[in-house]
Amino acid sequence: MKKLVKGLREFRATYFSTHRELFEQLSHGQKPRVLFVTCSDSRIDPTLITQAEPGELFVIRNAGNIIPPYGATNGGEGATVEYAIHALNIEQIVVCGHSHCGAIKGLLQLGKLEEEMPLVYDWLRHTEATRRLVKENYSEYDGEELLEIATAENVLTQIENLQTYPVVHSRLYQGRLKIYGWVYHIETGEVFVYDAETHCYVSLPQFFANEQAASQATIQKPTSPLVCDMPQNLQRAEPGTDVRIGSNGHVPANGRRPTWQTTEPGQPGTAHELVEVFGLPPEQAERIYRGSGGK
């Protein structure tokens, strides 16, 4: 606590005193440019890694940077998303996962949490889609590699969950909203961004180079305004394809995701489980599993 008090004094004496005009403006209202969804992990500081000024980021933080599907819970995440987009007219969302995430480690061994940390267990069930996808499609990986995969896939799961919110779906349809998936590496300070064109994560410079190339290309643009393609549009890479996160700037996402297949209720991987677990309407549960990119 002494260190915090000392920090407050230094803030008042140095930063605040040299930014009085900024804080005077902020006292009259906020106009953040980005909704930043990230983990509660103490090693992650959105304003530090982006060098954003006060008032620029509207932040949601929780264990595992999870956004439950619309209607799945009455928690603050949905209300914050709605307020950010409808009231503050934010037009960009970043979902940022990070390396060595404790929540994702817990997700990969969910059974052990139920007795020791029941609240954490209940919370992580909101991203059951990530756990199942990783379990059924990445069985050849383990340890840190599997954790990296799950972290990257979890970011994309939350982007899909965001698209189940009416206000998000409407703004995406209008082309007034973009959603980006990031993975931040604590040990290097690097950020990798999901590239919908290549279906993998790339370094920031590569991502912007790809965006510029795409904007200059004389090809017909996709009809969907989504930044990230939906699962039914993606195919898995061939076995043995090396798209690992690291020095080459990629994560093992197997070309992102296999096509979702609608199966009979009660079978593994069906939307029927979302209806049972979260009490979602069947239409919404089906939309979460197959994606909602269509108009």
For residue 283, pLDDT beyond 90: no
Return the structure tokens found at 6: 């000392």
Output the pLDDT for position 239. Answer: 37
Strands (E), the chain: 34-39, 57-62, 92-98, 178-184, 191-195, 200-203
| pLDDT band per the 50, 70, 90 thresholds, residue 286 | low
What tens digit of pLDDT does each residue of 80-136 get? 999 999 999 999 999 999 999 999 999 998 888 888 899 999 999 999 999 999 999
For residue 182, pLDDT beyond 90: yes
What tens digit of pLDDT does each residue of 52-64 get? 999 999 999 999 9
Alpha-carbon span 88 to 82, nearest angstrom: 9
Return the structure tokens found at 160: 């899909």
Q: Are the CB atoms for 292 and 260 separated by under 8 Å?
A: no
For residue 249, pLDDT beyond 70: no
The lowest-confidence range among 50-59, 137-146, 242-251 is 242-251
For residue 266, pLDDT beyond 90: no
For 64-122, give the secondary structure using H, E and C: CCCCCCCCCCCCHHHHHHHHHHHHCCCCEEEEEEECCCHHHHHHHCHHHHHHHCHHHHH
What tens digit of pLDDT does each residue of 24-34 get? 999 999 999 99
Output the pLDDT for position 102. Answer: 95
Alpha-carbon span 259 to 199, nearest angstrom: 13
Return the structure tokens found at 248: 């080459």
Q: What is the average pLDDT value for the chain, to the nearest integer?
A: 78
Output the pLDDT for position 206. Answer: 82
Output the pLDDT for position 262. Answer: 28
Output the pLDDT for position 175. Answer: 93
Higher pLDDT, 208 or 147: 147
Higher pLDDT, 295 or 194: 194
| pLDDT band per the 50, 70, 90 thresholds, residue 281 | low
Most confident by average pLDDT, 8-12, 38-42, 233-237 = 38-42
Q: What is the mean pLDDT of residues 261-277?
A: 41
Higher pLDDT, 287 or 212: 212
